[in-house]
Amino acid sequence: MPSPAGAVVKAPSAPATHGARAPGPGYWKTLEPIAISLGAVCVAMLLFGVFLAIDGLNPLDVYAEMFRGAFGTWFSFQNTLQRAAPLMLTALCTALPAQLGLVVIGGEGALVVGGVAAAVIGLALHDSGPYVILTGMLLAGAIMGGLWIGLVGVLRAYRGVNETISSLLLAYIAIALMNHLVEGPLRDPLSLNKPATRHIGDANMLGPIPGMDVHWGLVYGIVACIFAYVLMKRTVFGFAAAMTGGNLRAALLSGLRVRRLMVLTCFMAGAAAGVAGMVEVAAVHGRANASLVAGYGYAGILVAFVARQNPLGVLPVAILLGGIGASGGLLQRNFNLPDASVNVLQGILFMVILASETLYGRLDVWKFARRAAAAKASTAGAVA
C-alpha cells in the first residue's frame, strides 16, 4: 500500500474520477472504505435482526452464536479460512477478466476441468515422488482451467461471442465432460455407486499448512490474489487491461494488443479456478468425481462482485463468506432455522454492501469543513 496521496500521483491507472473527487485529508481516504464497509455490515445485521425477531429469536443470541461458529474459537476460525480458500481462487476467475470489462461467470467449469486434469496427471505420474506429482497436478489444473476460460477469451476476442454466455455454457459442458470421463474411460471399477477416478494415493495428497488444520489451498489463494493485484494495479500489463476496460476504442486507437490481452487475462482467470479444482482433488477428495461440482465457481462470482473486482478485496470478502458458511450450520442446529436463512443473511449483507458503494465520496465531512474554511478565507481575503 503506497501512501494514499502517492496513489493518485504514481498509479498510472487512476481514472479521472479520482481527480474529480476532492481529495480530503489522507486519513479519510484510508478510513472511508473501513467506515462504509463496517457501516454496511451493521445495517445488514440490523435488517437480518428484524427477520430473526419476527421468527421469535433474540438477534443478539444469534449473532453471538454465529460469531462463535465463525471466529470465536481456533477451530471456528480455521473452519472459516478453509471455506474461504477455494472462493479466493474462483473469485479471481471473475475479477481478472472484469479488469478488461469482461463478465466471466464460468469459473465452475474451469474448476471442474482443472480438477479432472489434475487427477489424470496425478495418476499418470503415480510412480514419481509426491512433490513431482503435486507440481504436475498444479500445472495440469492451471493449464487446463486456463485453456477452458482462455477459449472464452478467444471466442470473445476473435469471434465476438459474448463471454458471459459462453463461459456459462462451457461450465455445463465441463460438468458433462467430467461425468462422461469418470463414468467411462477414467472410472475406477471399484467406485460402484459413486463413479470416480482412481485415488492418487494418500502419500501424494496435499497436506495441511503446518500448525493448522487448513490445507495449502489457502496459501495458493492468498498468493494468487496478491499476484493478481500487483499484476493489475502495478504493471504495464495491468494498465493496458484497465485502459481496455475503461475505453475499448481508445485502447485500440493507442495500439494496445487488446485481443492478446483478453486471451491472456482469461487464461490466467481460468488457471486460478483450475488450481481450485486441483486443490479439491489433491487436498480433499484424492480423486475426481461429481463432488467437484460444489458451487465454488458460482460463489466466486458473488465474492468478486462484492469485492468490486479488486483482487485484494477478494480476500476479506471470501473470509466473510467463509465465516457465514462456517456459522450457518449453528443457525440450523441451535436455533432450528432453515438453511435458507443463511442465504437470506448473505443476500441482505451483500445487497447492503453493494448499495453502500453509492456513499463513496459523499461522506467526506472534512471536505465540507475545508470548503467552509476556504469560503471563509476567500471572504477574509476579499475584505483585506
Partner 1 sequence: MTMSTKASQSSHSRRAFGSCFGVALCALTLLNCSKKTDAMTSAALPASGAASAAPAAGKPFTVGFIYVGSKSDYGYNQAHAEGAKSLAALPGVKIREEENVPETLDVQKTMESMIKLDGATVLFPTSFGYFDPHILKMAEKYPDVTFLHCGGLYDPAKHPKNVGSYFGYIDEAEYVAGIVAGMTTKTNKLGFVAAKPIPQVLRNINSYELGAKSVNPKATLSVIFTGDWSLPVKEAEAANSLIDQGADVLTAHVDSPKVVIETAEHRGVFSTGYHANQSALAPKGYLTGAEWNWEVVYKDYVAKIQAGKPWEHLVRGGFKEGFVKMSPYGAAVSDAAKAKADEAKAKFTDGSLTVYTGPLKDNTGKEVIAAGAMQGQRDIALESMNYLVDGVKGSVH
Which parts of 304-363 interact with partner 1 (CB under 8 A)?
305, 307-316, 319-320, 325-326, 329-330, 332-334, 338-339, 357, 360
Binding residue (CB under 8 A) for partner 1 from 5, 6, 27, 30: 30
The nearer residue to partner 1, 129 or 338, going by C-beta atoms, is 338
Nearer to partner 1, 120 or 299 (CB): 299
Backbone angles phi, psi at 196, to 5 degrees: -160, 165
Give dist(CA 92, CA 73) in Å, integer.
Answer: 29
> What's the CA gap between 297 and 174, in Å, rounded?
12
Q: Cβ closer to partner 1: 128 or 332?
A: 332
Show contacts with partner 1 in window 227-286 (CB under 8 A): 229, 233, 242, 245-246, 280, 284-286
114-173 residues in contact with partner 1 (CB under 8 A) are none
Cell of 32: 472511508
Q: Which of 103, 168, 169, 363 binds partner 1 (CB under 8 A)?
A: 103
Cα distances (angstroms) measured from residue 376 to each of 287, 331, 363, 369, 382: 71, 56, 21, 10, 10
Give the footprint of partner 1 on residues 34-73 (CB under 8 A).
Answer: 34, 37-38, 67-69, 71-73
For 73, the grid coordinates are 474459537
Minimum CB distance to partner 1 smaller for 135 or for 164: 164
CB of 194 or CB of 260, closer to partner 1: 194
CB 312 to partner 1: min, Å: 4
Residues in contact with partner 1, counted by CB under 8 A, come to a total of 82
CB of 127 to partner 1, least distance (A): 22
Q: Cα(277)–Cα(109) distance, rounded to whole angstroms?
A: 10
For partner 1, the binding residue among 23, 29, 168, 351 (CB under 8 A) is 29
Instruction: Check residue 188 for interaction with partner 1 (CB under 8 A).
Output: no
Looking at 98, 118, 143, 282, which residue binds partner 1 (CB under 8 A)? 98
Compute the least distance from the CB of residue 381 to partner 1, in Å.
33
CB of 48 to partner 1, least distance (A): 19
Q: Which of 295, 355, 362, 378 touches partner 1 by CB under 8 A?
A: 295
Q: By CB under 8 A, which span of 112-120, 145-153, 269-277, 288-296 interacts with partner 1?
A: 288-296
Beta carbon nearer to partner 1, 120 or 356: 356
List 57, 83, 186, 271, residue binding partner 1 (CB under 8 A): 83
28 is a site residue for partner 1 (CB under 8 A): no
